Each structure stands twice: as C-alpha cells, then as structure tokens.
Amino acid sequence: MKLLMVLMLVALLLHCYADSGCKLLEDVVEKTINSDISIPQYKELLQDFVDSDAAAEAMGKFKQCFLSQSHRTLKNFGLMMHTMYDSIWCNIKSN
C-alpha cells in the first residue's frame, strides 16, 4: 500500500514537471489529505484521471491510506509538500 502511495505521488510530480502546472498537483494533494472528503467524493473529484475500474479501486485505497492517518500526520504531510513546492527545484522551472 505504501508503494502505491509513493508511485501515485511520483506520477503526480512528473505530471506537474511535464508543464501541466503545479496548481493541479497542489489541488490533488489538498484533496488527498483533506479528511472531510470521503472516498466516493475523492473519486468523483478526480474522475478525469481514472481510466479503469482497477484505477478507481487503487485511487480509493490510496485515499483510505490518508483517511487512516492522524490529523497531525496529515498536517505534516501537507507541510512537507508545501516545502517541496517552495524549494529551489520547483523554482528552477519557473525561472
């Protein structure tokens, strides 16, 4: 399950790097760590990125990983992601 989470985040980071815009990545991360968004809502919000039942099932399990975490862990994960967004590596592309 942890491998799935890492692979999905890497895919999102690569998608961002491929000139799709980091706003998309930030929005997906915020929806992922928001414990007020249920699995069905999450799947509906991200349905444009799902092309099969297997992908939808994986997305539900991915969201469940975050729903199972404490509020503190989710807050720290969000902080880590924002630290990455503000890093020199993200700023290189925009310069």
What does the alpha-carbon distance between residue 15 and residue 25 come to, in Å, rounded to a whole number? 8
What does the alpha-carbon distance between residue 79 and residue 92 come to, in Å, rounded to a whole number? 20
Query: How buried is residue 36: exposed, middle or buried, by Cβ count under 10 Å (0-12/13-18/19+)?
Result: exposed
Q: Can you give the pLDDT at residue 38? A: 96
Q: Can you give the pLDDT at residue 6? A: 67
> Model-level pTM?
0.67
Using DSSP, state whether 16 is helix, strand or coil.
helix
Q: Can you give the pLDDT at residue 7? A: 67
Structure tokens at 63: 């969201």
Each residue's pLDDT expressed in tens, for the chain with a length of 95 residues: 566 666 666 666 665 554 435 678 778 889 999 999 999 999 999 888 888 999 999 999 999 999 999 999 999 988 888 777 766 666 555 44
The crossing angle, in degrees rounded to 10, of helices 53-67 and 22-33 is 60
Q: List the domains of the chain with CATH numbers.
A: 21-90 (1.10.210)
